[in-house]
Structure 1
């Protein structure tokens, strides 16, 4: 079957003007790139302490106890077989298969029970290479279709659209086979107890499994029923580790995590582990934060090696920009060619932070190149951003990124070439030569297709990346577009027609809180508060945080505190609740969720995002006065000029640098880097009922010039006490850090 790669839309979108900074991408489309042919699966990074990855698509027959997935994850949409009308590009790709595909919905699952038929479940996503291969080799085969239609209820699920279903069955496959990836293939009894779990299955292997199980269900159903209980203890909620009785020992867990990451670091080729290499942005961000607090030369060397390996190895596309999802080899030379929006966001934030911390301009250039790539390749007409670029092109995995071997002869600094077949090479790394990049890019006409799924959680990550790269105007525009298109009456859609999950709400809430911190524009705070109310009231039930708003009857199969390809949803929830300084409901909820996060001993590295939230790392902005004010540090003109910005809500003030009563606490600014010369502005007199002497205070917006001969970066300690006409808050010690580009 030939695949014609055109632009794929989730469904028509309301036209919204493009955000500032978005560029035309007429040369672009995208592809989900596969693993090497010996690894018939698009990989999922496993928890770092276990790091189990399974090669090939072999299957394993086993079972569960009577654990079932939620029924109400997607609303009924009429006839379940109408994949052609789905908002999911992945489901529409299978609309012409000779299979009576259904979607995951209650009526379909009930019909399996009524008809006493086995369930065949296939999960994938639109940019996944091996999903393409299985669609072509197995699901387009008439014999496969005939067997499935005769003996099975066949269900298709898009992991981007229904991550709750995907995560549950990913855990099933991982438990039975040792690791997982996509496509996911599961065969279940009518009551949804699995008896087969696999990834990619070729036509013959699939037909053998289908025929055997169908015959066994007709002739000896008791055997399958018995088999379905074999691994119940591994999957039942009761078998999961109990939360610790005491609150986590955060310093100890942080130390464990760093030690585990150092042990896993590949000092020869870069990356972590000895097999496939992922960007591992959350781990590297954690190590960067640790370095901020303890800048040891050893940790700096580790970070530099890892970042350079990512930037100059097979994860980076030197011609069109952006980063690939992972490489299939330890040497980091064989990309898995799909480009995911969340990887672009996390990698851009990582390299911006590294540029400011380590003083490497090339890291900022790399982050800026990622922003240019996303604006040019993934920007959608309605102002949101698409989920991915497909790995395949013209039916060839990574075909868009193969070049004649002659192009590998004269390469610019930072770019290398590896063999990609007879007379062809892949180009890896990062080029600082725009003429070379432009010459090659102009030789391509139709780019890989773009998968236009505007996943809200991933767009929220991209909004955070825009803020990190100082693209504040574009972040504002995206924030408004997301509120207009993805939120209605406080309810978030993950993508058109699909209710949002925990990460969609929590990531977007954090993005709005940080927009408010950056701009002080009230709408961002109001929007974040609306989302947080939904999170508090509808995602926390009986003291447990749930991934889905509906009563899913199962706890989330993997810890919500653990990182996967993306930061843990619980880390965003904890951050968003932490911004409610004066609401005891959120404070209590945050305390409970941190105390019961169940960060497992020996696997601390898998919880890097949760641990980062407990590190007191200085930033360039911070809330003060219990959220009634904000303080920021920024570079000014000249090598030794800086600005300290204080912004207080009406009715609030802080004591100026000089006070009129000895018992009052003045504002001070110090730095361990050397003496500072702040140009303190004059205060204003404030008469109070408790003092005959007027107070000397600052209120409103205060802009404080500071001279400091410290070089490129400045870290300061601000001591301040905020008051209103009724109460004085406890004195605050705020640490801020800013760097020049």
Structure 2
């Protein structure tokens, strides 16, 4: 797999200096490595690790320092003849003491080419001898240490214009990269090692200069990278949405060409904008993409859940890993799909992911494991594909024929090996139409066909489970668990499925009980050991999960825990100077780069965007303006990136949309600018230093009857609002507007009297409001109004000021429910 290009839109000059600059010799040396022959297509699978044993003792022939680690990836290398170190002071001290460069290898447990390189090179005594003699080797699990992964991936992309895993980087003893690559076949790797040893010994000045340049370039690329800061506006979000939607594949669904990853962020943004704008053109890209993935081979039709990505444009040929974070985000997308369309297949997709999660990925304590790999080296996907004749060994002839026909099996096979493109004679189950459509074509009852196929799939899964199974990475990551907890709670609330919410609560309780030490949220847990202080994504994703649990259950403990995490975000991660959040705290290890991890580290949500969303919601729930102010600083600081690189910024754009919706700056109100969980439906809201409460004197009224709509505003101490000031028309008076409709006639607004005070910022006397004020508007039901509930649209315009500044004008929209009835007594006032 090739990483996204880090050079788009920023730091091109730095990259170009490295490519053509005065250190041509080292770059030319790397080019010479590339000339040794082609590297196989780059992917990201994994194997079930083989361990080298001494045949005479049945004990491992080698054991290195990784044997004391908990990471499955590091443990897979614990018996390599390479003298691996974990990332540690011990390794760097050895490098300094012996004046050796460091060879850093970064990968993860479900990375196929990581394990290809292990089998070819790291298990090979010849390669190990060269590494051990000339280098200090360090292994890093990128999922445990995303900070290290990002830093050294930047170096690799600067050097090679590509990236992926395993990431192979050569460092000076103080940790600065000076040469980098990815996967190397054995003989080329030996040649690279020997030539770099020669360079280190004989051209040290060149190495140091290269390391200095790469370190400086990496530092720049770790920054936001955009000086332009456009205004936060609906136009900014709309233009970014249009840019992403332009990549829509109208034939096969998804966006762009092969390979196709599940487009989590793009789907979320399109769904958000569809709800905001009601633009019908945004829905087909969502539903067609959801349908294409659900029908295609990327979906495991037998075991449930989704593989990591499709290697083709049609979603047929999967890259077979299954990642917790992909399935978490897909669960939320399919729940949204059902909420928007009420199509049963989207509810089925959520249940399908939940079934896989329960059967394969849930620990006895209720937490969620990280991933399942694609199979052993040379046997990728064998746990998922079928020769057509094998169906007959499990099913009756009639069942085998029916399944083969519906799930597109062919005698010659429909599956092609990814790296060679050759047919293997095996089949990956997939559908070309929904079961309902197939039933209609076959003139059979859809429910009966679904039941028959479910029984067949169950029988085939039982058989498949007897085959050798792929390796499972059973570590628990707080960030990825946060994604799944949030999605379970969200889906449980939207679909009214309490079992999803119970699973989410159990996993959240595990993290709070086992992965918090002395008030510090930790990153990873395995075999009873939790370790490593959590990063930005751990805090942001888990805080969002706790908010979803609060919304699903109403249990205040989840809100309290989310608030505590938000306070930690502001105290430990926030960039108070420029806005946004760093990926690490001051307590984390000092690295070359303290970045904001804006790329998300793969197909993951942008953690700054998630943090902003969390803070916007918490501000509304708690009334704490500091949360909203922090979210605004974050969004403004990254507005240039949103404009120029909307891909990977979808969560920031969603947060911007929600910030605009709660601000309602353009005065268009709530109905057209709110999400499915419309803030306008809440009749009490915190807006900066103000608490606004809207109510009506009746909830049930007759025709020709008049009721009163009121807005009560509590103004924080040291703040004021403007009243009407004819002599100062440039200030914004506070006011209330009730929207007239075919059912309602709006009377004259009754406004409170202002008090005269000197406004120091204006240096003149004005009419102002302080403390608590109340506006009232009489509303009369028209004679022709029909029975039923209506929503009375109320807009409250305010501009809060203190003695130093005025905040932006806010237009807060509310929807007050009133029911028109034919007769009966008028309701009592609303509580």
TM-score range, shorter chain: 0.7 to 0.9
1:416 matches 2:454: no
Which of 441, 454, 466 aligns to 2:488? It is 466
State the shift of 1:46 in Å.
5.6
Q: How many residues align?
A: 612
8 Å CA contact 2:147, 2:583 repeated in 1? yes
In structure 2, distance between residues paired with 1:612 and 1:502: 18
Q: Distance in 1 between matches of 2:153 and 2:326?
A: 20
**Is 2:472 the counterpart of 1:450?**
yes
After superposition, give the CA deviation of every residue in 1:156-190 in whole Å (9 maximum; x if it has no partner): 00011111101112222223222322111111222
Which of 323, 328, 347 aligns to 2:311? It is 328
| 1:143-542 → structure 2 map (5 Å cutoff) | 143-229=126-212, 231=214, 234-237=217-220, 242-244=225-227, 246=229, 248-393=231-376, 396-406=379-389, 407=391, 410-411=402-403, 415-417=407-409, 418-420=414-416, 421-429=423-431, 432=450, 433-444=453-464, 445=466, 446-470=468-492, 471-495=500-524, 496-542=530-576
- SS of 1:259's equivalent in the other structure is helix
Structure 2 CA distance for partners of 1:591 and 1:294, relative to 1, 3 Å: closer
TM-score after normalising by structure 2: 0.67
**1:598-654 C-alpha deviation (Å, 9 max, x unpaired):** 54233223311111122244224759466699xxxxxxxxxxxxxxxxxxx9xx995
Contact map agreement 1:561 1:598 (CA 8 A) in 2: no
Alignment pair present for 1:602 and 2:644:
yes
Structure 1 window deviating more from structure 2 (584-593 vs 178-187): it is 584-593
In structure 2, the residue corresponding to 1:323 is in which secondary structure?
coil
1:564 deviation in Å? 4.0
* Residues 337 and 397 in structure 1, CA contact (< 8 A), matched pair in contact too: yes
Q: Is the 8 A contact 1:122 1:186 kept in 2?
A: yes
- What is the aligned counterpart of 2:698 among 642, 654, 657? 657
SS of the aligned residue for 2:583 comes to coil
Given the alignment, which residue of 545, 569, 584 partners 1:548?
A: 584
Higher helix share: 2
* Contact 2:683 2:694 survives alignment (8 Å): no
Q: Is the contact between residue 171 and residue 557 of structure 1 (CA under 8 Å) also seen in structure 2?
A: no
Partners of 2:123 and 2:599 in 1: CA distance: 39
Match of residue 619 from structure 1: 676
Q: Normalization by structure 1: what TM-score?
A: 0.74
Deviation at 1:280, TM superposition (A): 1.0
* Shift in Å, 1:394: 8.3
What SS does structure 1 have at the residue aligned with 2:168? Answer: strand
Cα separation, partners in 2 of 1:419 and 1:362, compared to 1, 3 Å: same
Matches of 1:102 and 1:239, distance apart in 2 = 26
For 2:270 and 2:343, locate their aligned partners in 1 and report how far apart those are by CA, in whole Å. Answer: 17
Distance 1:130 1:716 in 2: 58
Unaligned runs of 5+ in 1: 1-41, 52-59, 64-79, 630-648, 677-689, 692-706, 710-714, 722-729
Contact 1:392/1:448, CA 8 A, preserved across alignment: yes
The structure-2 alpha-carbon separation of the partners of 1:565 and 1:300, relative to structure 1 and needing over 3 Å to count, comes to same
Q: How do 1:682-721 and structure 2 match up within 5 A? A: none
RMSD between aligned residues: 3.9
- Cα distance in 1 for partners of 2:740, 2:142 equals 49
- In the alignment, is the contact (CA less than 8 A) between 1:506 and 1:569 conserved in 2? yes
Greater relative contact order (Cα < 8 A, sep 6+): 1
User: Over residues 126-148 of structure 1, what are the superposed CA-to-partner deviations in whole Å (9 max), with x where a residue is unaligned?
Assistant: 11111121111111010111111
Partner deviation per Cα, 1:428-452 (whole Å, 9 max, x = no partner)? 3587521221121011215323211
